Chains A and B, each alone.
Chain A
Amino acid sequence: MEDKLETIYKRFKENEGNLISILQDIQEEFGYLPEKAIYWFSEQLDVPPAMFYGIATFYSQFYLKPRGKNVITVCSGTACHVKGSEKLINSAIKELELPEDSNTTEDGLFTFEKVNCVGACSIAPVVIINKKVFGKMSAEKLVKELREIKKNE
Chain B
Amino acid sequence: MNKHIEIKVCTGTGGIAAGGLEVLERFQTCIEQAGLKAKTLTGCLTHRVGCRGLCARDVLVDVIIDDQKFTYQYIKPDMVERIVEEHIINGNPVSEWLVTEDYLSFYNKQQKVVLAMCGEIDPEDIESYISHQGYRAIEKVIKGMSPEEVIDEIKRSGLRGRGGAGFPTGLKWEMARNAPGDEKYIICNADEGDPGAFMDRAVIEGNPHAVIEGMLIGGYAIGAKRGYVYIRAEYPLAVERLKKAIEQARHKGYLGERIFGTDFGFDIKIKLGAGAFVCGEETALIASIEGKRGMPRAKPPFPVQKGLFGKPTVINNVETLANIPSIIIKGADWFASFGTEKSKGTKIFALTGKVKNTGLIEVPLGITLREIIYEIGGGIEGDRRLKAVQTGGPSGGCIPASMIDIPVDYESLARAGSIMGSGGMIILDETDCMVNVAKYFLQFTQSESCGKCVPCRIGTKRLLEILERITSGRGKEEDLKKLEKLSNDIKASSLCGLGQTAPNPVLSTLQYFRDEYEAHIFEKRCPAGVCRDLLTYTILEEFCKGCGMCLKVCPSGAIIGEKKKPHKIIPEVCIKCGACFEVCKFKAIKRG
Contacts and interface: CB of A to CB of B under 8 A. Distances in A.
| Direct touch of chains A and B (CB < 8 A) | yes
Interface of A: 16-21, 23-24, 54-55, 58-62, 76-79, 81-83, 87, 90, 94, 115-124, 126, 131, 133-135, 139
Q: Which bucket holds chain B's interface residue count? A: 35 or more
B196 A78 contact: yes
B195 A117 contact: yes
A78 B577 contact: no
A19 B58 contact: no
B294 A119 contact: no
B197 A121 contact: yes
B275 A59 contact: yes
Given A17-B291, A122-B360, A135-B17, 11 more contacts: A21-B272, A24-B233, A60-B276, A78-B195, A78-B196, A78-B440, A116-B277, A122-B359, A123-B58, A124-B358, A139-B579
Contacts of B234: 115, 117-119
A122 B290 contact: no
A134 B274 CA distance: 23
Contact of A77 (B17, B196, B271, B577): B196
B115 interface: no
A56 to B, nearest CB: 9
Minimum-distance CB pairs A-B, first 5 = A18-B291, A119-B198, A78-B196, A59-B274, A77-B195
Contacts of B271: 20-21
9 contacts: A59-B276, A76-B195, A94-B555, A118-B13, A119-B197, A119-B201, A120-B14, A121-B197, A124-B358
A20 B285 CA distance: 12
Given A18-B290, A121-B350, A62 B274 contact: yes
Given A59-B294, A121-B198, A123-B56, A78 B352 contact: yes
Nearest to A114: B447
Nearest to B232: A119
Contact of A135 (B14, B202, B276, B350): B14
Nearest to A120: B13
Chief secondary structure at chain B's binding surface: mixed
B426 interface: yes
B195 A116 contact: yes
B194 interface: yes
A126 B193 CA distance: 16
Contacts of A18: 289-291
B586 to A, nearest CB: 20
A82 B428 contact: yes
A116 B448 contact: yes
Interface string B213-257: 000000000000000000001111000000000000000000000
Contacts of A135: 14, 17-18
B585 interface: no
Interface of B: 13-14, 16-18, 54-56, 58, 192-198, 201-202, 233-236, 269, 271-277, 288-294, 350-354, 358-360, 390, 393, 424, 426, 428, 432, 437, 440-441, 444, 448, 450, 555, 577-579
A79 B293 contact: no
Nearest to B58: A123
Contacts of B192: 119
Contact of A121 (B58, B358, B432): B358
B352 A121 contact: yes
Nearest to B293: A58
B274 A24 contact: yes
A21 B271 CA distance: 8
Contacts of B275: 59-62
B250 to A, nearest CB: 15
A78 B390 contact: yes
A50 B235 CA distance: 29
Which of B352, B353, B432, B578 has the most chain A CB atoms closer than 10 A to its own CB?
B352
Contacts of A77: 195-196
Given A79-B352, A121-B196, A20 B288 contact: yes
Contacts of B440: 78, 81
Given A121-B196, A123-B55, A78 B426 contact: yes
Contact of A133 (B16, B290, B428, B450): B16
A117 B193 CA distance: 7
A122 B276 contact: no
B17 A133 contact: yes
Contacts of A58: 276, 293-294, 450
Contacts of B13: 118-120, 133
Contacts of A59: 273-276, 294
A25 to B, nearest CB: 11
A117 to B, nearest CB: 4
A115 B195 CA distance: 10
Given A59-B275, A121-B358, A135-B17, A81 B428 contact: no
Nearest to A81: B440
A134 B58 CA distance: 12
Contact of A123 (B17, B432, B579): B17
A94 B271 CA distance: 37
A71 to B, nearest CB: 13
B53 to A, nearest CB: 9
Contacts of B273: 59, 61
Nearest to A118: B234
Contacts of A116: 193, 195, 277, 444, 448
A123 B13 CA distance: 10
